[in-house]
Amino acid sequence: MKTITSSLLCATAICAGPAALAAQETQRFTWEGTIELGYDSAYDSDVPGAEVSDTYATIDFSAEYRFSDRISAFAAITAESVRPLVQDRTFDDMGAYISELGLRFHFDPVVISLGKVAPAFGTAWDATPGFYGTSIAEDYEMFEAIGTTVDVDLAEAGTLSLAVFYADDTRLSDSFGARRGRTVATAGGAGNTGKLNNVALQWSKSFDATTVTLGARHLKAGQGDVKDETGYVAGVSHDFANGLSLLAEVAHFDGFGGTADDADYATLGASYGMGNWTYSASYTQRDITSTGKDKFYTLGLDYTFKNDITLSGGLALLDESGAKTRSAGVAVIIPLGG
C-alpha cells in the first residue's frame, strides 16, 4: 500500500506540533492497484464457436481514506471488457464499474464495513496459482453485494468473517463506457433478493506455514428460482519454505445458483519459486447435476522483474464431459502503489 500525505497536512503538523502530527497519522489516504495487459486464446476446441481469442486490458484500483482511528471510507474500481466473449476481441467492450464502496468502522479487534462489499467465501477463486488457475473456482466467488461485513481478529484463534447482504441492484451494478446492464430482482438468481436475507460466514487460521479456511453461505432464492442455495467450503494451503507452496479447496452447494442442481468443486494447486521464476500447475474438478463432470488442467510460468512487474503465461485444458478445449495465454501485470 502507498501512503500519500498532503503538503498542507505536513505544514500544519510542523506548525502545530505533536497534536497535529497525531492527526496526520490518523487522516491518511492509501491506495493500490494493478494494470494487466494480456492475450487469451482458446485455440482448439470440440465445442462449436468456442475457438475465440481476447486481447484485453484489466485495471483495478482500490483506495481507503482514514477520517480518524475509527472511521474510514473505501472504494474499488475495475475497468475491463464487461460483456461475454463471443468472437475474437481486441480491447473491445471496455467498461468501468465500482466494485466496492462504503464506510468502514475500526473497533479493534472488530472491523465493520457498510455499503457495497465483497463477502468472504473460499480462497481458490483468488489464490490458485498460475495464469488460468482461478478460472473454474471463480464460479462461486462472491462480490458486488450490498450489505455489511464484520471481521473479527480472534488473535490465536484466527479470524472470523460474517456478511449479511444481497446482490447489488443499484445503479452501481451497471458500468460506464460499454454497458453491462443493471442487475434487477426480476432476473432471479440466488442472493438477488433486494433484502438483507443472505448470510456468509468464514473462519481462517494460520498454523505457522499452514492456513486453514472453513466457510458456509445461505443465499435465498430470487424471483423464479427453484430453491435457496446452501454452500460449504473448506481449504488448506501450506508454504514449505523451500519455494514450494500447495493449495487444496473443496466446495459443495445444494440448490446451486437457485436451481435444483447440486454442485461440487475440488481444486488442487502447486507453485514452485526459483529466483525470479515461478512454476505452477493446478487441477480443478466441477460436478454439477444438470451438466455433468468437468475437468480443468493448467500449467503456468511467471517471471517477476526487480520492479515487481510480472510476465505471466499459461496453458489450459478444459474437459467438459468429453468435449475438450485447449487454451494459451500471456499477460504482463503492472503493480500500482507501494
Q: What is the DSSP string of 260-311?
A: S-EEEEEEEEEEEEETTEEEEEEEEEEEETTTEEEEEEEEEEEEE-TTS-EE
Kindly list the distances between the CA atom of residue 136 and the CA atoms of 25, 88, 265, 291, 303, in Å, as whole numbers in the listed order.
Answer: 42, 21, 9, 14, 24
pLDDT of residue 27: 56
Cell triple for 30: 492509501
- Sole residue written with cell 479493534: 108
Q: What is the pLDDT of residue 314?
A: 98
C-alpha cell at position 144: 458486488
3-class secondary structure, 109? coil
Strand partners, 55: 39, 90
Give the pLDDT of residue 26.
43
Cell digits for 158?
A: 484466527
pLDDT in tens, the chain (338 residues): 333 333 333 333 333 444 444 445 445 999 999 999 999 999 999 999 999 999 999 999 999 999 999 999 999 999 999 999 999 999 999 999 999 999 999 999 999 999 999 999 999 999 999 999 999 999 999 999 999 999 999 999 999 999 999 999 999 999 999 999 999 999 999 999 999 999 999 999 999 999 999 999 999 999 999 999 999 999 999 999 999 999 999 999 999 999 999 999 999 999 999 999 999 999 999 999 999 999 999 999 999 999 999 999 999 999 998 999 999 999 999 999 85
Grid coordinates of 112: 465493520
Radius of gyration, CA atoms only, the chain: 21
pLDDT reported for residue 337: 83
CA 29 to CA 41: how far, in whole Å? Answer: 39
Q: If DSSP codes are grouped into helix, strand and coil, which group holds residue 82? A: coil
Maximum distance among all Cα pairs of the chain, rounded to whole angstroms = 72
Q: Tell me, what's the pLDDT at 338? A: 54
Distance CA 299, CA 313 (A): 9
pTM to 2 decimals? 0.90
Q: Are 317 and 326 in contact (CB under 8 A)?
A: yes
What domains appear along the chain, each with residue ranges and CATH number?
A: 2-336 (2.40.160.10)
Give the burial class of 45: count Cβ atoms within 10 A of its Cβ; 0-12 exposed, 13-18 middle, 19 or more buried.
Answer: middle
